[in-house]
Amino acid sequence: MAVSKRGSMIRTVTAFVLVLFLPSMLLAASANNTQLPGAYFRLLEAGAAMVEARLNAEPSATLETLEAIPGWTHFPYSILASAVLYSKKHATNPRYHDPKMLALTLRIGDFLAAECEKGRYEPRLDSDWDTYMWLDAYRLLEPELGEERKARWRREIERIVVPLVPDTTKRLDFPWYNSPFIGTSPNHYAQWASLLLLAGHVFKNQEWKDLGSRVLHRFAAEEQTPDGYWGEHSRAAPTTGYDYVTSTQVALYWEYTHDPAALQALRRSTDFHKYFTYPDGIPVEVINDRNRYWGVDAWGHFGFSNFPDGRRYVEFLTSFFHADNLTRMDPQWEHWGLTLDALGRLAQSALYYHEGRTQPIPQDQANYSYQMSIPAGIRKTGPWVVALSGLINTQTLSQFYLDRQSSVSVFHQKYGLIISGANSKRQPELATFSEKIDGQVFHMPLSSRLQMSDKQDRLSLSYNTFFSDMYVPTPSERELRLRFVLTGRGTPAEETKLGIQLCLKAGETLETAGGKKIVLGTERVELSPEDLRGEVRHRGWMLKVDPTARLVWPIYPFNPYMNKPETKLDHAVGLLSVPVQAKRTKEDWFVRPGEQEILFTLTAN
């Protein structure tokens, strides 16, 4: 399937691919018991049981002690799981009107009210996110609460909602709902608005409803780009992970207003996310300017479920969540266990899910390609997925926005991400290209162009002293090539390097054609061209590299939440660098086409 948004959108799905893959897809879904919303209810039931068990084991627990365990952050999210199980009538929900689920919900709500009264709820990070869960649980169980409990819960919920009114109002008419203008993240602003909308609906406050609706209508009708994303730093490029968060708020807005603009925005959002998700459920990292890693996402499934392909997409995502242990969370933010964050968001989707037929998504296809109107695209060919980014954006001093310095990522169905295109900050050495001019290092492209075709894809990046054409021909089942052709321009830089981030795994063996065999750990490894001899082998894949290439391990990438590099090997990468050999000729010194060619050949067993 090939899709492009240049000019009119073209969609091509061959009947052969559908015939070949649709039956197996349906059988797999049936075998794995992933049909929705049934899978949601099973996850909620398991999560609620673990929450109840912990509360029983720790009768004197506080929010601080409960949330100290990884996976239990945002404990208030748990209230919606039991509330939905109790209140949502469905053939696949065996806990409907189960008194135990009602009792657990009341217990959690009373606990949250007590923590609020003691001043321990609101100061926590993103307590407004938690308050949505509590508020929707209040709405579902209002007839069961009794007047005293209703008054208590409402008082504490409104304590969080009321301050959002002036904060939201003052930003209403700002030029764009992006961080440089509103001083917070768009996903946060959208959440303020959705909480106001729902609180206005539940507590009969028209002012809150109108305020939330006004903001969310603008998010749907104006702020979203034609490519289906909401840019956090600017509209020029997406912030993949947090985009799910903003989409969730627009989805909730649709549920309560049925504004046609919201449904149209959700349609575009579904297209964006379904294409830029790897076969393992992880969002594509090379186009993300805030996070190097992101897990399989539980946010906003119900918004995607308005469409047949969206229902298949969220069925696909949900298949990666397992009700085994609430403390289980992969350090790579991949394949999360059922964390409380996920539990609450899956409960939200179970509550608002739209049932209906499904239709295949890109992850069900043997081959597909997709190109946005901005210079970014993705192509799946058999087991290979290559994502390309020529995205250019301004730098910011904010620690929460990475430099858009990386351009290519390579994923394999068996081995996962092999070449990372994750961006970074204050680490020009991790950029695809860097050049030193008069002692200053430049590492972000000045201009770019992406051309995609069935024969090969071409990503062109221009810098101060050269430009690069990266060609990606159609790979075979076992082999993929990246070919960089460099054209010099003007006076060469003092030093120019091409960098590739390799996803090496600590504890695994790295071998080279130069006879090196190293078990990767915390000890620094520096391999020279002589050590590599043009070849690296790791975990079943082999990469043939330029004879001048060097490799360094471990490189700890920047973590925006820590405002410094990572400290654990889980996120470390290997840096493969190749020097650019600039040449000047007397005949034609200013532009030197094809001055150097650098080839990488990746083979997977």
Reported as a single tens digit per residue, the pLDDT across 314-364 is: 999 999 998 776 765 544 444 456 799 999 999 999 999 999 999 999 999
Encoded tokens for 153 = 């819960």
Say whether pLDDT at 27 is over 60.
no
Does residue 278 or residue 330 have the better pLDDT? 278
- CA pair distance 375, 90, nearest whole angstrom: 45
In angstroms, rounded to a whole number, what is the distance separating the alpha carbons of residues 386 and 410?
Answer: 5
| pLDDT above 50 for 224 | yes
pLDDT at 28 over 50: no
Residue 1 clears pLDDT 90, i.e. is over it: no
**What value does the mean pLDDT of the chain take?**
93
Query: Looking at the predicted structure, is the pLDDT value of residue 206 above 70?
Result: yes
Q: How far apart are CA 35 and CA 206, in angstroms?
A: 38
**Across residues 297-303, what is the average pLDDT?**
98
pLDDT grade for 583, boundaries at 50, 70 and 90: confident
Q: Please classify residue 355 by burial: count the beta carbons closer than 10 Å to its beta carbon, then call 0-12 exposed, 13-18 middle and 19+ buried.
A: exposed
Residue 406, pLDDT score: 98
Contact 160, 152 (CB under 8 A): no
Tell me which of 10 and 175 has the higher pLDDT. 175
Hey, what are 74's tokens?
């945002």
Helix intervals (H) in 220-365:
240-257, 260-275, 301-304, 308-318, 340-352
Dihedral of CA atoms 358, 361, 365, 370 in degrees, nearest 10, equals 150
Q: Residue 288's closest CA among 332, 248, 334, 231?
A: 231
pLDDT at 582: 77
Largest CA distance in the chain: 89
pLDDT value of residue 323 = 79
- The tens digit of pLDDT for each residue in 392-436 reads 999 999 999 999 999 999 999 999 999 999 999 999 999 999 999
Please tell me the least confidently modeled range out of 13-17, 70-74, 473-477.
13-17
pLDDT digits (tens, 9 = 90+) for 549-565: 999 999 999 999 999 99
| Rounded-to-integer distance, Cα 15 and Cα 31, Å | 24
Average pLDDT for residues 2-7, to the nearest whole number?
45
At residue 282 the predicted structure's pLDDT band, cuts being 50, 70 and 90, is very high
- Could you tell me which residues are beta bridge partners of residue 538? 510, 541
Rounded mean pLDDT, 502-517: 98
| pLDDT, tens digit, 9 for 90 and up, residues 76-130 | 999 999 999 999 999 999 999 999 999 999 999 999 999 999 999 999 999 999 9
Sheet holding 591-604, edge to edge: 447-452, 456-462, 466-473, 479-489, 591-604, 541-544, 535-538, 509-512, 517-519
Please state, as a whole number, how many other Cβ atoms lie within 10 Å of the Cβ of residue 406: 29
**Residue 336's pLDDT is what?**
54
Which H or E run contains 83?
A: helix 78-87
**Is pLDDT above 60 for 297?**
yes
Predicted local distance difference test score (pLDDT) of residue 221: 99
Residue 588 has a pLDDT of: 57
Half-sphere exposure at residue 269, Cβ-oriented, CA atoms within 13 angstroms: 36
Output the pLDDT for position 590: 85
Q: Which two tokens stand for residue 229?
A: 């994303």
Give the pLDDT mean for 357-377. Answer: 98
Dihedral pair phi/psi, residue 578, rounded to 5°: -130, 125
Q: What is the arithmetic mean of pLDDT over 46-54?
A: 97
Residue-wise pLDDT tens digits, 171-200: 999 999 999 999 999 999 999 999 999 999
- How does residue 249 score in pLDDT terms, banded at 50, 70 and 90? very high
Tally Cβ neighbours within 10 Å of residue 139.
16
Confidence of residue 484 (pLDDT cuts 50, 70, 90): very high
Shortest CA distance to 297 belongs to which of 227, 241, 352?
241
What is the 3 state secondary structure string of 48-73?
Answer: HHHHHHHHHHCCCCCHHHHCCCCCCC
* DSSP-derived pairing of the beta strands 367-371 and 2-4: parallel
Report the percentage of the chain scoring pLDDT > 70: 92
Cβ(274)–Cβ(326) under 8 Å?
A: no
